[in-house]
Structure 1
Amino acid sequence: MQSTEEDKQSHLSFASTPSSNSSVSDESGDVEVTSPPPKTMTKFHNGRYINPYRPEGVPYLDFIKWNLSRKSVKPLTEHEKKVDHPVLKVDLGHLATPVQDSSLRMTWIGHSTFYVQFAGVNFLTDPVWAERASPVSFAGPKRLRPVPCSLDDLPQLDFIILSHDHFDHLCIDTAKKIGNRAKWYIPVGRKPWFNAIGITNLEELEWWQEADFNGRIKVVCVPCSHHSQRSPIDRNVSLWCSWIVVDKTTQKKYYHSGDTAYCSAFKEIGHHYGPIDLSCIAIGAYEPRFFIKNFHINPEESVMVHKDIKSIRSVGMHWGTFILTDEPIMEPPKLLREEATKANLTEDEFTVMKIGETKTYNL
């Protein structure tokens, strides 16, 4: 496991594993003691991170098969743009008002980008304002619906949590615009990239490592099953993760899944940090399953993640903004509702938002 001198400083720590065991009763009434799920740690070998949940690597033949058989995704109809998937004007005056300690206010900017106001701080998740999720401005997945406000329109920004370095989650122009005015919490390995564009106000974390922000907020890097890459030669030189933000005063928790395949990480998170009060969980970019299942969950698995991490309420993300895979644009929220109903979840327990919409959740 890679470590740095910064990792050894007092503001960072590894969360301790509870020593108590859980127990269940079998049909005879006898108590069977079961051990808590162990924490899966990061694995770093020969300059690259290894996904312990998919150690066999990527099936490249499946990647070729998918690209040879891809079909175009139908664009949104005018009705869908106006009724089903509109872009709302952000109420910036409302965002400028304080949020009560018992509440969390969240605005969906699109894809995996949320502006979250919680426990006296304002933070962004995976900030992307770019028109394309691509290294170039003239090609690559284009934004389907416009951003609901400019980055400069938002009130104070205290920190950012970044799940990984893919172009639909990390945009160089957005990063430069934020710069050092807010603190960046990033997976370990991307510090040189940020330093090269002048950003030094950051902390790198590994899975299960915790960082303190302002004495009240705890930011926790937790595992997921994905990968990292921004060029043909830098695959997995940096880590990927999901995040938990904890209000140490109230012990209320927010979770951001990032990108992930389904794996045992979520039961680990649920055991060590559950219940989670509000979660943002990916629901889109999942077809065809024979290949994309290695990287992204589908709505059925999103509901499984919700239950595994012991989320009280969840919001679907990572859909309706860029065409990355083959499912219809409006399919993810439809399937989510179906899968949530099968799992006996109410609509309020796992729902979606409109781009630009702001919701306040009483925790």
Structure 2
Amino acid sequence: MLKALRSVAKPLVALLLALVLAGCATFDFAPEDSAAPPHHGPKSFLNVPYGPTHTLGGLIRCYLALEPPDPPAIPPELLPREFKPEIVAPDLEHIRTPDRGSIQVTWISHSSFLIQVEGLSILTDPVFSRRASPFPFIGPSRLAPPGLDFKDLPRIDGVLLSHNHYDHMDKWTLQRLGDSPRIFVPLGHRRLLAAWGLFRVSELDWWQTSPLGPVLIHAVPARHNSNRSLFDGDRAL
């Protein structure tokens, strides 16, 4: 078995490298400034570390089953047998006519939420694609469809993007939303979004704010990193 795995390792590594290179994106980076904040490094941002990072070699070994993956956050034995969360159909009537005097939140999937407040409809990290990947034919795929169909979305006024990982910043979904919503992103993403044909972009550094109608958007730090390839780690916040 191990011999067979080794026989496919070289072509698999070549394929992975080709996919990584093909999925590379170019990011802006704030120029050096003696008065720059402490999290603005000379070549990248100093995002808040969240733990050990995975190397390409480690990912390949895990993919080939040569070493076990990280243990789940919740041990399987603590979950009920055949655990399946209840799926609740969205209330489309309330989504179409939300109460302007309250905040209404609809969970779509993962980090994708529809927030309706003060007459605005705002999406967070919208991902409606089947895969979280630079390519439609390979990469992590959905285990369940979105809780709200794209066609049932109301008119979207704003989009909040937390960072640039593929399961949070989806090119296909953003292009389908078009250039009508204003997009709020951390520093370093404007050039990539412009390459996708999206120009109504507000870039924010930590602790900066920007208005969206009567709502004020705040950018705050998070324990995470950013990258869309092997070569752009933390080039964006």
Q: TM-score, normalised by structure 2?
A: 0.72
Q: Any runs of at least 4 consecutive aligned residues in structure 1 with deviations exceeding 4 A, and if so which?
A: 57-61, 71-74, 77-80
**Displacement after TM superposition at 1:78 (Å):** 11
Partner Cα distance (1:162, 1:59) in 2: 22
1:97 aligns with 2:97: yes
SS in 1 for 2:40: strand
The structure that is strand-richer by fraction is 1
**Displacement after TM superposition at 1:93 (Å):** 1.8
Conserved in 2, the CA contact under 8 Å of 1:42 and 1:207?
A: no
Percent identical residues: 31
Moved more, 135-144 or 41-50: 41-50
Q: Between Structure 1 and Structure 2, how many residues are aligned?
A: 193
Partner Cα distance (2:109, 2:135) in 1: 20
Partner Cα distance (1:72, 1:222) in 2: 29
1:170 aligns with 169
Amino acid across the alignment from 2:161 = L
**Displacement after TM superposition at 1:60 (Å):** 5.2
SS in 2 for 1:194: helix
User: Which of the residues 29, 33, 58 maps onto 1:64?
Assistant: 58
2:112 aligns with 113
Partner Cα distance (2:183, 2:144) in 1: 26
User: Which of the residues 227, 233, 236 maps onto 2:234?
Assistant: 236
Conserved in 2, the CA contact under 8 Å of 1:161 and 1:184?
A: yes
**Displacement after TM superposition at 1:85 (Å):** 2.0
Partner Cα distance (2:165, 2:53) in 1: 19
Partner Cα distance (1:210, 1:64) in 2: 39
**Displacement after TM superposition at 1:221 (Å):** 0.3
Structure 2 CA distance for partners of 1:78 and 1:194, relative to 1, 3 Å? farther
Structure 2 CA distance for partners of 1:42 and 1:227, relative to 1, 3 Å? farther
CA root-mean-square deviation: 3.0
Higher relative contact order (CA 8 A, sep 6+): 2
Unmatched runs of 5 consecutive residues or more in structure 1: 4-40, 240-363
Query: What aligned pairs does 1:150-161 form with structure 2 within 5 A after superposition?
Result: 150-161=149-160
Unmatched runs of 5 consecutive residues or more in structure 2: 1-28, 32-36
Partner Cα distance (2:206, 2:195) in 1: 24
Structure 2 CA distance for partners of 1:72 and 1:139, relative to 1, 3 Å? farther
Conserved in 2, the CA contact under 8 Å of 1:176 and 1:197?
A: yes
**Displacement after TM superposition at 1:72 (Å):** 10
1:217 aligns with 2:215: yes
Conserved in 1, the CA contact under 8 Å of 2:186 and 2:203?
A: yes
